[in-house]
Amino acid sequence: MRKGVNVHRCISKRQTYYGGLSHFKSSSVYIAMSSGKHMICDIRNIKNIGLVHDLGGLMTVLDTICDTYQFNILHKKHHIFYPQGLTIMYLLAESHISLHTFPENNHVAFDIYTCRAYPDNSVYDEIYDFLIQYFYADRDVPIILDR
């Protein structure tokens, strides 16, 4: 089985479903369909450092992302660490979002995975741009994986 081949790239080939949830056979090669995209990013050198401590503000950011892209929130959970830092998890019908703050390192780790089939990375690029603007942070290159 060839892993990591996005079935959208093979649209022109003849495909036959051969059982299982996500496998097609095309010209004697098995192709695994994408089950979504996963973005992992580290937001560093945050200039709007007060936001790293603001649970309500951070949850508003995640709510805004979910509203904008119509992600369905099933549960919200958070934990505040002492003396500093917090973790927020959103369980989505589409999968999850997590955010972890490390104020001592001026760093936020952000992770989002959804099972939607996007034709490219533009939605996740928009989300990353929104986060960089919100935190007023240095731009880096997020990792976006086809799952």
Q: What residue spans define the domains of the chain?
A: 1-33, 37-146
Q: Taking the domain 37-146, which CATH number applies?
A: 3.60.90.10
Q: How confident is the model at residue 21 (pLDDT cuts 50, 70, 90)?
A: very low
- Give the residue numbers marked as catalytic: 95, 100, 115
Candidate from 50-59, 61-70, 114-123, 126-135 with smallest mean pLDDT: 114-123
Average pLDDT taken over every residue of the chain = 83
**Upper half-sphere CA count for residue 108 (Cβ side, 13 Å):** 30
Q: Write down the pTM of the prediction.
A: 0.76
Query: Measured between alpha carbons, how far is 113 from 95 in angstroms, rounded to an integer?
Result: 6
- 102-120 b/e (C-beta count within 10 Å ≥ 16 → b): bbeebbbebebbbeeeeee
